[in-house]
Chain A
Amino acid sequence: MRAVCWNGKQDIRVERVPDPTILAGRDAIIKVTRTAICGSDLHLYNGLIPTMRSGDILGHEFMGEIVELGPDVKNLRIGQRVVIPFTICCGGCFYCDKELWSFCDNSNPNAEWTEKVYGFAGAGLYGYTHLMGGFAGGQAEYVRVPFADTCAFAVESDLEDEEVLFLSDIFPTGYMAAEHCNIQPGDVVAVWGCGPVGLFAIRSAYLLGAERVIAIDGIADRLEMAESFGGAETINYRKEDVLQQLRLRTGGRGPDSCIDAVGMEAHGMGFEGLYDRTKQKLMLETDRPNVLRQAIQACRKGGTLSIPGVYGGMVDKIPMGSAFAKGLTFKMGQTHTPRYMFPLLQMIEQGKIFPSDVISHRLPLTEAAEGYRLFNEKHECRKVVLLPGG
């Protein structure tokens, strides 16, 4: 089969590799019908998260049709259409039982190494470094799904694939980010980053009852999307002073919640941006936390900082004094995807949201390298969907 392989920094190739096979009783093999490049894949593309190996198959947003099942899977059948959550979950551990699916104890075969780095290991992820389990990803014609009986989410309705594909990651991720804000009537939510997760966070904040959402980005077409798809008011950080604008627009109090939908590769401005880029290049810092700093500074007293943007390692110069003085609550982490798939599918079915609107590019799988390049440059490229069939 064909698969999108990582071969080093900004070196993506579509290669012919052996078809995946059933390796354990609860496995399934999926014929991929749609897969997408996630913003977090760009951290791998840019070589910023360690423990990738040359030849790793990328991709953690995918859906498809079941073509083969392990002997222990009883609740699925061949031919069924399924969306696969990007977090692999066993369904039997303390965390799965509590629906904290992305903390699954048993789905990362390299957990004992991950513990050395993070203290404890989260769930295994598809195509996202060996620290996260080293699973072959879904930007391929076929993919192996472990614990399919727990993970695979069957979609029976006649919605188009592209309407349900994003249940695999970015819609639940944006939704959980908004849910973390514990939105009360009258709340103003500020969202940094108007990529796909930011857009879903904006929509979700409204769905959860926010009075206003203020979106922050530096790219014109993304800000336009934040207005048209999200219904947010916007701040262009390249033209306006973000902190001052947020104060002016929130009656001088600051947003009730701040969502960092950017993560470790923020485009810092001025001296601060240069400082972090230099430290990252010198490997004195792995992540560039400009957005995190700004969000801490902007948030109202007693507010919540919700972080769906990915951080991988060490950050520097975090204004902890400000966070402490204002008694902020921090909520973050990988999305507990399966918890949200059914309720969000219902929202799609009810026409409350049309996820496919965030797609800007549809490319055949064979042109994945071009897709990564376009997405990394960001201009006019919001979300790339890859079609394995053509």
Chain B
Amino acid sequence: MTATVGTPYKKWNNVGPLERAVSIFAAGFLTQRCFKTKGVAGVALALGAGELMRRGVTGHCYARGYAKACAMGEAPAASQPVIAYQAGEIIEDVVTVRRSSQDLYSFWRKLSNLPQFMERVEEVKEIDGVRSHWMMRGPAGYRLEWEAEVFRDEPNELIAWRTVGNADIVSVGSVTFKPRAGNRGTEVRVKLQYDPPGGKAVSTLARLLGNAPAFEVRRDLMQFRQLMESGELISTQGQTSGREEKA
């Protein structure tokens, strides 16, 4: 399940089978009506019927693709999306951190900092200003690797990235930094869409086994806040207890 930016993606479809059937049916209905309607309205109905038919037959909705791309902080002209609309999983989470957006952006933009608070990410190597190589501990001890590129970078406001080449997990995501009024810190919002290896079935299973990526994103964001606000990650790892070998 890999996709490459630059080559058309197989799952261009973003309309489900039922919806496609409905589209085709609706197209038929509008075609009938357009012959009975005169003037501009009739032409409009005909055009609408054409688009619905195309949507039903090809299974791609331009409006939806555009809305999705905007929601992900992506440039609208996503003629070759990394992941099509209904593929993959979408995660959104946010924390408010009591630091300036400048501080937070700078720390995050230095991608090699990220493993400090992303628990499963072992290493991020920055190849150049845009591309980076990631290594992550996956479920059951598997190591997952991918290359990513930053495709939008607005200092102190937004960083958006997507995987490139043969990624173990195909993903696209963004983090935004939005200062809040009244010395309330900065909202750090992560949106992530990814294609789980093995598809929906595997990701559902992973969730049941407690490896829910949404939960991990939450924890990593909380750890980011800890690091930025208190200077360290609070931990009890290595502390003493009556469970250990008796001294």
Contact = CB atoms under 8 A, between A and B. Distances in A.
B236 A134 contact: yes
A297 interface: no
A108 interface: yes
Contact of A26 (B96, B231, B236, B243): B231
Contact of A53 (B215, B238, B243): B243
B231 A17 contact: no
Contacts of A115: 218
A359 B45 CA distance: 87
Nearest to B221: A112
B246 interface: yes
Contacts of B230: 26, 90-93, 106-107, 147
Main SS at interface, chain A = loop
Size class of the B contact interface (CB-based, 8 Å)? 20 to 34
Contacts of A5: 241-242
B7 interface: no
A116 to B, nearest CB: 9
Contacts of A91: 230
Interface in B50-85: none
A254 B228 CA distance: 49
A72 B242 CA distance: 28
A16 B247 contact: yes
B238 A21 contact: yes
A94 B232 contact: no
A303 interface: no
Nearest to B219: A112
Interface in A127-159: 133-136, 144, 146-147
A7 B242 contact: yes
Contacts of B241: 5, 17, 55-57, 136
Interface of B: 96, 98, 184-185, 215, 218-219, 222, 225-226, 229-247
21 contacts: A1-B240, A16-B247, A17-B241, A17-B244, A18-B247, A21-B240, A24-B232, A24-B234, A54-B242, A55-B241, A72-B231, A90-B226, A91-B230, A94-B96, A94-B98, A97-B98, A106-B225, A106-B229, A106-B230, A136-B240, A136-B241
Given A1-B240, A107-B234, A112-B222, 8 more contacts: A3-B242, A17-B241, A90-B230, A93-B229, A106-B234, A112-B218, A136-B239, A146-B234
